[in-house]
Amino acid sequence: MKRIVVLASGQGTNLEAILEAVERGEVAGRVVMVVSDRADAPALKRAGKRGIKALFMNPKDFKDRFDYDRALIKEIITAQADLVVLAGFMRLLSPLFIEAFPMQIMNIHPSILPAFPGTDGVEQAFNYGVKVTGCTVHFVDEGLDSGPVILQETVPVIQQDTIDTLHQRIHATEHRLFPTAIDLFCRDKLKVEGRRCYIVD
């Protein structure tokens, strides 16, 4: 069974969706550690109440992001993780970190990439006036939301939408899509060739 480490900075709703999917037997892996760069992150409490190691790593304790990432790499290797999942982790990971776990870092982004990358994908899509947006699960490379796409699902933008209501519907889709992608990884169903990620039998 694959071992998963989740990095999270915020509420941890995607983490919760992943943990619940694991508990239902829908993910062929288990979360062995949750790491946050914020001491008060609810994600740490979600992990702790399930008996999962919850680790706060304070960026202020490190000289720079490379020192931070070196320490984070060490923790992940010690946890014997097969997969690193970014669930609302707001720190920019260094090339050092990406190179340590090639095609073993997974992220979810609230748009249909490559459209609207960056921190405000929902707002970008809404303000642009698109009729359809959605979310993308992808492997992480050294670019901004630019790694190979694993899964995508569309979400229509309706006339009555606000940025908040659109965000809520995209979040609901993320909570289904992210565990599905993680399960595919855990069952060795993903194969990457160049930019293309294939689901194999």
**Is residue 109 annotated as a catalytic residue, yes or no?**
yes
What is the total count of domains within the chain?
Answer: 1
**Average pLDDT value for residue range 75-86:** 98
Residue 25 has a CB neighbour count (10 Å cut-off) of 8
Instruction: Give per-residue pLDDT as tens, 95-132.
Output: 999 999 999 999 999 999 999 999 899 999 999 999 99
Q: Name every residue whose Cβ is closer than 8 Å to that of residue 102 and which is 6 or more positions away in sequence.
A: none
Instruction: Give per-residue pLDDT as tens, 132-165.
Output: 999 999 999 998 899 999 999 999 999 999 999 9
Spatial strand order of the sheet with 149-156 comes to 53-56, 29-36, 2-7, 83-86, 105-109, 132-139, 149-156
Tokens 């989740």 label which residue? 6
Q: What is the CATH number of the domain that holds 50?
A: 3.40.50.170
pTM score, whole prediction: 0.96
Instruction: Give per-residue pLDDT as tens, 13-33.
Output: 999 999 999 999 999 999 999
Cα–Cα separations (whole angstroms), residue 16 to 21, 124, 158: 8, 26, 27
User: Whole-angstrom Cα distance, residue 138 to residue 187?
Assistant: 17
The domain of 187 spans 2-199
